[in-house]
């Protein structure tokens, strides 16, 4: 892409099989919109994503999506993992990339609507859609900022779940 973040509104037809399995060096966030009932195949595991739910697909991870209903609508945000830290920052911050580049079962891949509805995630996803659609001056920075805020939420959630499981 031209910028380190790319957005696509997907609207696939119903399918009974996972087609076009692929991988790439980008992280993908899949966010279910109004009519969404998809299954996401990730390295042999299948996850369900519906309206208001978020699925994370790590960099370099094989995946595919199929719709369970006539038409599902979801947002795909692809981004280079490197946008999560600036080159001039310390190597200490590189640790924040690991949940997005490692295949690690300790990090949950799907977050439900009920747990996201009271967070900033729905607003951030709406902001990304608006910025990508309008492409006003500086939209790339606005999208990058929303992606960083969303990934910060995910990292903190993973961290708290890891701490809770250690108790």
> For the chain, first and last CA: distance in Å?
43
Burial class for 148, CB neighbours closer than 10 Å (0-12, 13-18, 19+): middle
Digitized pLDDT (tens) for each residue of the chain, 167 residues in all: 456 888 999 988 888 888 889 998 899 999 999 899 999 999 899 999 999 999 999 888 999 999 999 989 999 999 988 777 665 555 555 555 555 656 666 678 899 999 999 999 999 999 999 999 999 999 999 999 999 999 999 988 888 887 666 55
């Amino acid at each position: 892409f031209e910028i380190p973040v790319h957005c696509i509104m997907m609207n696939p037809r119903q399918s009974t099989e996972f087609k076009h399995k692929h991988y790439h060096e980008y992280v993908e966030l899949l966010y279910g919109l109004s009519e969404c009932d998809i299954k996401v195949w990730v390295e042999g595991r299948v996850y369900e994503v519906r309206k208001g739910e978020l699925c994370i697909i790590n960099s370099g991870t094989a995946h595919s999506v199929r719709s369970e209903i006539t038409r599902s609508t979801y947002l795909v945000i692809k981004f280079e993992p490197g946008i999560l830290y600036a080159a001039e920052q310390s190597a200490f911050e590189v640790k924040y990339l690991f949940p997005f580049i490692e295949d690690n079962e300790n990090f949950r891949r799907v977050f439900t609507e009920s747990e996201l509805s009271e967070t900033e995630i729905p607003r951030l996803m709406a902001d990304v859609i608006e910025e990508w659609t309008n492409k006003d001056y500086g939209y790339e920075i606005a999208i990058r900022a929303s992606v960083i805020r969303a990934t910060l939420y995910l990292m903190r959630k993973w961290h708290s779940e890891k701490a809770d499981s250690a108790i």
